[in-house]
Chain A
Amino acid sequence: MIINHPILGPRDAQEFVYLGDAALIARPDGLAPGAQEAFHDYLYLRDNPAGLHRELWYHEQGDRSWLVVTRNTLTHEITQVELARDVARSLGRSK
């Protein structure tokens, strides 16, 4: 698989480390009520869809940026690649 890095251009997926569902960006608030349950779901439960999947890849052997890659789990086709930083900010995160 080739991941089209927004800054570096097309890179072999082998340069990256895979973390999983991009929903992991939205870490629950540990002080909010119900945090224990929220963390159980966050840590252990996954949608695991067959089809489009937004997922986190880390460019370990490159510029060490985190990317959000939209990939079809049925075909391995990659349709979108974003910087995870931009995605996190668009979700209201400060960094």
Chain B
Amino acid sequence: MFGSGHYSGFRVIKEALTGHKGWRPAWRDPEPQKSYDFIIIGGGGHGLATAYYLAKQFNQSRIAVLEKGYLGGGNVGRNTTIIRSNYLLDGNEPFYEFSLKLWEGLEQDFNFNAMVSQRGILNLYHTDAQRDAYTRRGNAMILHGADADLLDRDQVRAMYPFLNFDNARFPIKGGLAQRRGGTVRHDAVAWGYARGADQRGVDLIQNCEVTGIRTENGRVTGVDTSRGFIGAKKVGVAVAGNSSRVMAHVGMRLPIESHVLQAFVSEGLKPLIDGVITYGAGHFYVSQSDKGGLVFGGDIDGYNSYAQRGNMPVVEDVAEGGMSLMPMIGRARLLRSWGGIMDMSMDGSPIIDRTDIDGLYFNGGWCYGGFKATPASGWCFAHLLATDKPHETATAYRFDRFRKGLMIDEKGQGAQPNLH
């Protein structure tokens, strides 16, 4: 291990006593080499995790991550930080439960404080039919080794007495709780993986936009970038909202549309919400950051977009959802809002797969839920890159599932990305 050294309580005390002269940058800023064994395009959560596990878990070397901006400036730094494994379908639940287990050990593993907080997530239900659907979902989760707990109205009231239980149209009847779910400091996830990868020799190259992917006889040979050509034996693409643009370099059209998702944070308030709450009758979910701001969001705007900002109708819709669930939120002032570009897939589930070009691999289609997937996505993509075989929890995430009718459609919406 080299670079920034090991972080620990002991180190903090030692540095405090020696004038903080021993701290080093958390990662290097290397010039790109002529070629690598592995190039990962995209320095977001998934790309950095992939490089980290490639080096650490799969003992690979000569790895670079190419990022067009700065590390963690994409969706990994824009999301609402919720982690959970409360999926219904067989293709998804084992993967997300694998991810949750990795979150549980992540900070020790990469030696970085990512503030993984298993404060619990509660999905509210408002009708008998919704309760039955959540019963089924909870059972599916338990069958896959995750935790789930169906709460009645009184149990929910004991947790969050301020919710609008007696809304005439959408009374709260209970909720499905996953107590191991929660939140994680999103930026720290990018930083922790970046530092861990750098310490294992991965070159993290920023301000390096990939502008072309070169192939020869059906094999990838490297990438053209804003910093020149860089050769590679294998190239893994993990660029989230920009997936279609990057894969267009090799003429591939994807089962993906890019859409904008907005999020919001209020002024800092005293401790109020100690978990994550999702509204079952409108598009609204909320948690409270450690700084006190209420972090909340709702639906995607619903039209193709690469602008990292949304429009007023969704702002209104989210605010209405919040008012209907917890009317007192109307007294809090909104501090800021922002948007990120989602790689919305045709069935709402991701893709981690090879392509028809040898040595070119793809990771994307995460929709609005890829943050929680970060550790497992990195692990499974590294597995695929290193061994050419899918990881056992990611065997369903293939391109050809649309051709074969094996869609993983949690919501049952069909090929309409803005409805997932």
Interface residues of A (CB under 8 A from B): 1, 12-14, 18-21, 40-41, 43-50, 53, 55, 71, 73-76
Contact = CB atoms under 8 A, between A and B. Distances in A.
B307 A74 contact: yes
Q: Which of A13, A19, A45 has the most CB of B within 10 A?
A: A45
Given A40-B402, A40-B403, A73-B258, A45 B305 contact: no
B8 interface: no
Contacts of A45: 253-255
Nearest to B313: A14
Contacts of B256: 46, 48
Contact of A18 (B245, B303, B307): B303
Contacts of A18: 302-303, 418
B311 interface: yes
A50 B341 CA distance: 11
B307 A55 contact: no
Interface in B302-318: 302-307, 311, 313
Contacts of A40: 402-403
22 contacts: A14-B313, A20-B257, A43-B415, A44-B346, A44-B415, A45-B253, A46-B244, A46-B257, A48-B253, A48-B256, A50-B242, A50-B245, A50-B258, A50-B306, A53-B304, A55-B304, A71-B303, A73-B305, A73-B306, A73-B307, A75-B307, A76-B311
Given A50-B306, A53-B304, 16 more contacts: A13-B311, A13-B313, A20-B416, A21-B304, A45-B254, A45-B255, A46-B244, A46-B253, A48-B254, A48-B257, A49-B244, A73-B304, A73-B305, A73-B307, A75-B307, A76-B305
Contacts of B253: 41, 45-48
Query: Interface majority SS on B: helix, strand, loop or mixed?
Result: mixed
Contacts of A47: 244, 248, 253
Interface of B: 242, 244-245, 248, 253-258, 302-307, 311, 313, 346, 402-403, 415-418
A13 B304 CA distance: 13
Contacts of B418: 18, 20
A41 B366 CA distance: 20
Contacts of A44: 255, 346, 402, 415
Nearest to A50: B306
Nearest to A45: B253
Contacts of A21: 304
A92 to B, nearest CB: 24
Contacts of B302: 18
B258 A76 contact: no
Contacts of B346: 43-44
A76 B310 CA distance: 9
A-B pairs, 4 with minimum CB distance:
A48-B244, A45-B253, A44-B402, A50-B306
Nearest to B256: A48
A12 B312 CA distance: 11
Contacts of B311: 1, 13, 76
A44 B304 CA distance: 15
A46 B255 contact: yes
Contacts of A14: 313
A76 B402 CA distance: 30
Nearest to B309: A76
Contacts of A53: 304
A73 to B, nearest CB: 5
A53 B245 CA distance: 14
